[in-house]
Amino acid sequence: MHAIVLIRFAFFCCVLTMGIIFLLKYRSLNIMPRHSKEEDNVAPLPDHVHTGHSKCGHPEACPPEHFSFKIQSGVGNVIGPSICFDNEIVMSDGIRNTRYGINIAVIDGFEGKTLKTGAFLMFGGQSEEKKLYNFLKLIEQGMFVLVTSYDDPYTKMTTEIKDYFKKLGSSAVDSLKFRDSWVFVGTLGPMKSHFEKHMPSTSETNKYGTWPEVVEIDGCIPRRKA
């Protein structure tokens, strides 16, 4: 029994010694893992470059001279709306600057800075359609307008308000009905917006009782040139 134990111990010591000798030779030959030549020539990214998933939910960064954005509609008291621009949350329930109705962020298209936000109740006795109308009238050339609905964007919407949204490039504003979901990015000009989604509220397709499912849009907007 003692002989077997001694044999096993001797074998273990032999294997350990061979391993140590191999490691010493490996280091003496200076065999070290290294990157490829292509990796050696890659300069480190500057601090301001965002890599990986951004706050706006993009798997890749936008091209140079573009701003990232993502807009999500709200649904009743189930899900709140949110607006993200250039990797910053501009409006959301979390920062407490959204309301039932229509929520809008106005962005400087040249610098990407948030100029103002507004949240306007669009139903009931305290609706704010007049405030919304005056808010829209102050939008100027070169500004981006990001819009999201929350609960109901339609009930108190006037013809004048619809006309302003159409000036900003909306194609869906005339189709809005009670408790529809709507998200939109616009700017003053003759072109229709490429960034707009509208989900009607219908008993056949609604996901949350009398509300349809959340709609969202995201993408990259080119910076305005002076």
Q: Residue 189 — pLDDT band, cuts 50, 70, 90?
A: confident
Domain boundaries, the chain: 66-222
CB 68 within 8 A of CB 86: yes
- Looking at residue 129, its amino acid is E
The number of angstroms, rounded, from the C-alpha of 72 to the middle of its chain's C-alpha atoms is 8
- Residue 220, Cβ density class (10 Å: 0-12 exposed, 13-18 middle, ≥19 buried): middle
- Residue 50 has a pLDDT of 38
Banded model confidence at residue 125, pLDDT cuts 50, 70, 90: confident
Q: Are 148 and 73 in contact (CB under 8 A)?
A: yes
Q: Where are the beta strands (DSSP E) in 14-166?
A: 66-72, 82-85, 88-92, 101-108, 114-120, 143-150
User: Does the global pTM surpass 0.85?
Assistant: no
Q: What is the pLDDT of residue 124?
A: 82
pLDDT in tens, 87-119: 999 999 999 999 999 999 999 999 999 999 999
Beta strand extents in the chain (DSSP E only) = 66-72, 82-85, 88-92, 101-108, 114-120, 143-150, 181-186, 196-199, 216-222
Q: In the structure encoding, which two tokens stand for residue 48, read together?
A: 């301001």
Separation between Cα atoms, residue 151 and residue 80, nearest integer Å: 9
Which residue's entry shows tokens 């706006």?
56
Q: What stretches of 18-171 adopt beta strand conformation (E)?
A: 66-72, 82-85, 88-92, 101-108, 114-120, 143-150
- 167 phi, psi to nearest 5 deg: -65, -30
| Predicted local distance difference test score (pLDDT) of residue 49 | 35
Sheet with strand 66-72: strands edge to edge: 88-92, 82-85, 66-72, 216-222
Which two structure tokens, joined as six digits, stand for 155? 């009930």
Q: Are 166 and 154 in contact (CB under 8 A)?
A: no
C-alpha span between 99 and 170 (Å, rounded): 21
What was the pLDDT predicted at 158? 96
